[in-house]
Amino acid sequence: MKKSVKLLRTIALDASDTFVFDVPAEAGEWAVSGTFRFCDHDPAKLSGKARAAFRSGFLGVQSWGWSTLAQIVPATENDCRALIELLAAQLLDRFGAPDIAVARTAAEEEVAFAQSLCTHPISSLIAVQRMASGGEIRESFRRLQLRERQEGHGRAFSFMEMEDDLEPDGDLNLADLGREPRLR
């Protein structure tokens, strides 16, 4: 019997990701946090769509594009292994990993981290918020849930309530994630 696991898939509730990110992820592809994509960038110097990807994007592994939301979905161990191999190949081809063994190790760590975000029920939506502080990148993740008595995922901003997961004092406003901060 195949063991069931949970993984993340990109989800598009509307067309906003096509405007927010240079390369939007395809809906329904496997997703990981993707923070490693910013390891060679100074987050303070990012602007526009690159800044939006840094601040609020999940990485679609197939397209190498970004998604504002990821959905927790059931998966099998075979799905997990296939995701690791796909990500390892992408790390080798697109990110310059020195060899497939190193890429596979990094992919395993990234997929394990994605799995650690899947503690909520199947179909839960997850949002990420990243910020740079003191030379480190900090991530916080939020579960977005349907309002009481609402069925299915509908329009993006008509149904969600937030439940804090890691940073209880943070506020996440999906509409503001792609905007540049205002200076006071």
Strands (E), 61-176: 66-67, 69-76, 125-133, 136-146, 160-164
Q: Provide the whole-model pTM.
A: 0.79
Residue with tokens 């740079």: 132
Note the pLDDT of residue 39.
Answer: 87
Cβ atoms 123, 71 nearer than 8 A: yes
Strands (E), 15-124: 30-32, 58-60, 66-67, 69-76
- Percent of the chain whose predicted confidence (pLDDT) is above 70: 77
- Percent of the chain whose predicted confidence (pLDDT) is above 90: 70
Give CA separation, 154 vs 3, 158, 160, 161, in Å.
Answer: 31, 8, 9, 13
pLDDT per position as a tens digit, 131-163? 998 888 999 999 987 655 545 545 444 444 444
